[in-house]
Amino acid sequence: MAVAESPAKMPPPATAGLEARSARLQTGRAPAKQRSARLYFTPEVDIFLLREVLAVDPFEDSTRWVAIVRNLWAVLLKNTIMTMHCGVSEKLKTAVLVKVGLNGAGENEKEEENYDDEGEMPLPQPPQTMLKSKRHEDLHLQFFEKRLQLEQGAKGRDTELEKERLALEREGLAVEDGRITLEHDRLALDKEVFLQKKREWEDTQDEKRGKRLARQRERQHERDLYLRQQDALIDLVKSVAENIKNY
């Protein structure tokens, strides 16, 4: 009795990435993993969305256009702080959605998930990285505690050296003449070692501060790029709305 051969495993198609993007456009939502990861600025998602909007004619493929518009407004409402300042109003949104048939026979419907109880757009929340955290406060306190400890240690050694100098003067020995005791040498050496450690520690803190400022500048650059892309998307939607009104 012949045994049926098991079908060979086919390699994954080369269009897997395109199919995932197509599914994302059809549903109007990103996969759960991508949504949970989008806690900060992701310009590549908005660049892809902008290209898709420019490549689609709403009068030829209304279904795909509806998915893109939904995704576009999800981005505008949830991931930018410029929405409230660029005149992106409910009327503009309704004009675009009515033209592509999303709201039926021109009814002015609201998507409840995008509005609060009073019917207004929710104010965007600041990024989590801008909020003070317990860890940040602890590191801040540790920095100043360490610095205070080093300064107090140096002052304590200065006090011991001064006591030794006064004791030598009482005995009639002048430190300037080179008649310095072994104890004085030991204290002076300890102070120099301690000050060297303090200088090394301060250099380390300066290096960390430089890296932190570099990261902040990089995040600021990403933020500016993201906002410029959002402005481009908003201008695109406004131009589409104007064309719809004139149609």
Same domain, 168 and 218: yes
**pLDDT one-digit tens code per residue, 212-246:** 888 888 888 888 888 888 888 888 887 777 766 66
Note the pLDDT of residue 195. Answer: 82
Could you tell me where the DSSP H helices lie in the chain?
16-27, 32-37, 43-55, 62-78, 90-99, 134-170, 182-246
Same domain, 220 and 231: no
Q: Tokens in use for 9?
A: 């495993």
Q: Is 3 a member of any domain?
A: no
Amino acid identity of 43?
P
Same domain, 21 and 77: yes
**pLDDT one-digit tens code per residue, 86-117:** 443 444 455 555 555 544 444 444 444 444 44
Q: Is 157 a member of any domain?
A: yes
Distance CA 80, CA 226 (A): 8
If one counts the domains in the chain, the total is 2
- Would you list the DSSP string of 178-222? T---HHHHHHHHHHHHHHHHHHHHHHHHHHHHHHHHHHHHHHHHH
Same domain, 117 and 28: yes
Amino acid identity of 66?
V
pLDDT for residue 247 is more than 50:
yes
Same domain, 76 and 23: yes
Same domain, 137 and 220: yes
**pLDDT one-digit tens code per residue, 26-54:** 444 444 444 433 333 344 555 555 556 55
Helix axes 134-170, 182-246, angle to 10 degrees: 160
Q: Is 4 a member of any domain?
A: no
Note the pLDDT of residue 202. Answer: 85
Residues 46, 237 contacting (CB under 8 angstroms): no
Same domain, 205 and 238: no
**pLDDT one-digit tens code per residue, 106-157:** 444 444 444 444 444 444 444 444 445 555 555 656 666 666 666 666 666 6
Q: Is 91 a member of any domain?
A: yes
Distance CA 175, CA 195 (A): 22
Same domain, 191 and 233: no
Residues 12, 192 contacting (CB under 8 angstroms): no
Q: Is 87 left (phi over 0), alpha (psi -120 to 50) or beta?
A: left
Q: Is 8 a member of any domain?
A: no
Q: Tokens in use for 68?
A: 């893109």
Same domain, 119 and 231: yes
Same domain, 46 and 103: yes
Most confident range, picked from 12-21, 59-68, 104-113: 59-68
Q: Is 6 a member of any domain?
A: no
Domain with 203, as residue range(s), is 130-224
The CA-atom distances, in angstroms, between 4 and each of 1, 8, 9, 215 are 9, 12, 15, 60
Distance CA 38, CA 40 (A): 6
Q: Is 9 a member of any domain?
A: no
Same domain, 49 and 138: no
Same domain, 53 and 96: yes
Q: Is 98 a member of any domain?
A: yes
